[in-house]
Structure 1
Amino acid sequence: MGVIAISGQVASGKTTVARLLADKLGYRFISVGEVFRKIAAERGVSLIQLHELAERDYSIDRYVDQVSIDEAKRGRVVVEGHLAAWIIKDYADVKVYLKADLKARADRLARREGISINDAVN
């Protein structure tokens, strides 16, 4: 079937590893974060606002989970997200959890989000 779940800490390199793996294997790539960003754009809200909405409206998380599950059922896919290994646990042939030290993650997050390292750590 060929379903790989890449999970891990914030800014641990999940997206980079998942994209490289998908390219190398000729698999599709699905990012849970990109699904959230698409929903936020469609609703005209920021990602932070969407996360706040999702805390009250569980249908948002259920929808994102279902997108991941549907893609996993199709096979030949790398699904990346903080909880991807849990969400598609019944379909994943391989589950990978990435960890990185705090300094490396803070550096990545600060660069990616355009914030200070201090803000990234907090």
Structure 2
Amino acid sequence: MLLTISGLPGSGTTTISRLLAEYYEVELISSGEIFRRLAKERGLSLSEFGALAEKDATIDLEIDRNQKAIAHSQDNIILESRLAGHMAEGVPNVLKVWIKAPMLVRVQRIQRREKSLSFDEELEKTVEREKSEALRYKNYYGIDITDLSIYDLVIDSAKWNQYQTLDILRVAIDSLGGPA
């Protein structure tokens, strides 16, 4: 089974993906981590690298092309990214999950993760980042990131902690036969 985990920044996709990968002992491929690594390698912040990606489509397109190839060629793997569900279109035996949380909750999580002192600064950066990504997804693929209709399961991570969310996902995954 292919499992895709998607959601906006701070929703908990990386945490949940890691827990699932550990529980099911499957590989996790995170495009967000790849994007962060590329930004760091260039000495840029996420928002600066996002702005660069708006001007240089090859950044996103290469990451997405790689993820799509993996989705169509490997089984028993977790793909985590904003567009993972879209990159797995047409793949049999896939469970597409969207993790959501309110903006303020997500920004508080990002603020803790980044050890930022300013909530307002993180809010501004998050809003800017999400606008940049939404624009790029619309321009590159015609994808409206707010349309969740392609997902099999949408979970609000503000309602449950990461272990409760893991339990919900385990029930869903196991009911479909889970990773072999």
CA-CA distance at 1:112 after TM superposition: 1.2
Q: What is the distance in 1 between the residues matched to 2:90 and 2:62?
A: 17
The C-alpha deviation readout for 1:46-90, integer Å capped at 9, x for no partner, is 133322221111111110001212222222211111222112223
Which consecutive segments of 4 or more residues in structure 1 shift more than 3 A? none
**1:7 is matched with which residue?**
6
**1:53 is matched with which residue?**
52
Range with greater deviation from structure 2 (66-75 or 15-24): 66-75
Matched to 1:26, the amino acid is: E
Distance verdict in 2 for CA 1:39–1:102, change over 3 Å: closer
**2:121 is matched with which residue?**
119
Q: What is the distance in 2 between the residues matched to 1:101 and 1:93?
A: 26
Q: Which runs of 5+ in 2 are unaligned?
A: 125-180
Q: What is the distance in 2 between the residues matched to 1:121 and 1:66?
A: 30
Q: CA RMSD in A?
A: 1.8
By relative contact order (CA 8 Å, sep 6+), the higher-ranking structure is 1
Identity %: 34
The reply to whether residue 83 of structure 1 matches residue 83 of structure 2 is: yes
CA-CA distance at 1:13 after TM superposition: 0.5
TM-score by length of 1: 0.85
**2:65 is matched with which residue?**
66
Q: What is the distance in 2 between the residues matched to 1:22 and 1:86?
A: 20
Q: Which runs of 5+ in 1 are unaligned?
A: none
Q: What is the distance in 2 between the residues matched to 1:51 and 1:120?
A: 15
Q: What is the distance in 2 between the residues matched to 1:95 and 1:62?
A: 21
Q: How does 1:87-106 map to 2 (within 5 A)?
A: 87-91=87-91, 93-106=94-107
Secondary structure at 2:29 match in 1: strand
Q: How does 1:8-47 map to 2 (within 5 A)?
A: 8-42=7-41, 44-46=42-44, 47=46
Secondary structure at 2:52 match in 1: helix
Secondary structure at 2:43 match in 1: coil
Q: What is the distance in 2 between the residues matched to 1:34 and 1:50?
A: 13
